[in-house]
Amino acid sequence: MTDYMMPFTRMVHLSDGTIPDAPLIQTRRLSDLSGCFADSDAENALSAANPIIYEVYEATQNPEVVGHLRYSTTVIRPGKVGDEYHMTRGHYHALGDRCELYYGLMGEGYLLLQTPEGEINAQRLTPGAMAYTPPYWGHRSVNTGKDNLVLLAVYPADAGYDYRTIADQGFAALVVERDGKPEIVPNPRFVKAGLQPE
**Cα(25)–Cα(125) distance, integer angstroms:** 23
Could you tell me if 101 and 129 are in contact, meaning their C-beta atoms sit under 8 angstroms apart?
no
96 strand-pairing partners:
none
Confidence of residue 194 (pLDDT cuts 50, 70, 90): low
Q: pLDDT band at 191, cuts 50/70/90?
A: confident
Q: At 8, give phi and psi (nearest 5°).
A: -155, 165
Question: Is the pTM value of this prediction over 0.95?
Answer: no
Measure the CA–CA gap between 157 and 75, rounded to whole angstroms: 21
Reported as a single tens digit per residue, the pLDDT across 34-92 is 999 999 999 999 999 999 999 999 999 778 889 999 999 999 999 999 999 999 999 99
Torsion of the alpha carbons at 6, 130, 29 and 53, rounded to the nearest 10:
-140
In angstroms, rounded to a whole number, what is the distance separating the alpha carbons of residues 198 and 182?
29
Rounded to whole angstroms, the Cα distance separating 132 from 31 reads 29
Domains of the chain: 24-186 (2.60.120.10)
pLDDT digits (tens, 9 = 90+) for 6-28: 899 999 999 999 999 999 999 99
Using CA atoms, how far apart are residues 6 and 25, in angstroms rounded to an integer?
22
pLDDT in tens, 168-182: 999 999 999 999 999
The Cα–Cα gap between 55 and 74 comes to: 6
Residue 55 CA, chain-centre distance (Å), reads 10
Contact by Cβ (8 Å): 153, 114 = no
Calculate mean pLDDT across residues 124-147. Answer: 98
Q: What is the mean pLDDT of the chain?
A: 94
What is the predicted pLDDT for the residue at 197? 45
